[in-house]
A = this chain, B = another copy of it.
Amino acid sequence: MHILILGAAAGGGFPQWNANNAQCQRARAADPMVPPQTQSSVAVSLDGQQWCLFNASPDLRQQINDNPQLHPRADGPVRQSPIRSVVLTNADVDHVAGLLNLRESQPFSLFATARVQATLRANSIFNVLNPDFVTRKETQLDREFSPLPGLTVTAFAVPGKVALYLEDPAAEGFGTMAGDTVGLEVCETASGRRFYYIPGCARVDDALRARLAGAALLLFDGTLFTDEEMIVAGEGIKTGTRMGHIAMSGPEGSLAALADIAVEQKLYIHINNTNPVLMRDSDARRQIVDAGWGIAMDGMEISL
């Protein structure tokens, strides 16, 4: 399995358009220790020819341009793409807006839960995906599906939150229901070798820990280093908990909760512009690395 990190940053990307913190300034100044990152998406392939996207970020056009693996083949027909399918983990803007780049009557399959598909149907702008070419497939939680030949994917519910623009302020949990945020188990069918892609997760529980054991790779929610980071930075009024994202650090954080799971390689992904791990020379980065984690970066390719 080939896994290509298209975007390692959380919603807004890094630097974020209106964020003026020190690390965004360093990224804008092309500081080599603080490389810019686009928004959350990975591509997966078995043969290097056919690719499946996990989430479609607003930066997808730039991501396709920057990664030759996703270009049309030079000897191919006049309309062509190696992208065969897209799998969504939720309806967040940073995970669905990129679908608007996949217009132009190109065949592919679009996999998402019923709640996420309903959101896309309710937004007419997604009708740019011509139904004569784009097949929308409803996934069931905990039921295998195959977005590429030889690849088996299972979506499972993780603690999370409904997309911001769908929040119901009057409802418990802002109207969040099972299937609003999922993790993905991705398995090479022949070998059984598997990895997990979980860009949004509010809490690590025993069920999740048990599921992850034995995986070759974990790509996990690295939105925030500390739960109150955005408030401290003066960039927001919400904790990570309120946004549906577990922090890395602290007694309840993912570093502690996932310290002893048997996973060959652990990478944080979906990293917010306020998270100091985006700076290679930060203490936070050192803590992560010392704990055996890596940080996903745009253009990174992992073969399992």
B residues near A235, Cβ cutoff 8 Å: 78-79
Do A79 and B19 contact each other (CB < 8 Å), given the known contacts A103-B93, A123-B123, A127-B165? yes
How far is it, in angstroms, between the C-alpha of A93 and the C-alpha of B102 when the chains are bound?
A: 11
Contact of A17 among B68, B104, B166 (CB under 8 A): B104
Interface check A282, CB cutoff 8 A: no
Interface check A191, CB cutoff 8 A: no
- A20 and B80 within 8 A (CB): yes
Give the copy number: 2
B residues near A64, Cβ cutoff 8 Å: 17
- A106 and B18 within 8 A (CB): yes
- A17 and B165 within 8 A (CB): no
Query: Nearest Cβ distance between residue A293 and chain B, in whole angstroms?
Result: 27
B residues near A128, Cβ cutoff 8 Å: 93, 164-165
Stretch at the interface among A54-62, A138-146, A148-156, A263-271: A54-62
Stretch at the interface among A8-16, A197-205, A206-214: A8-16
Which residues of A, 114-134, contact B by the 8 Å Cβ criterion? Answer: 119, 122-128
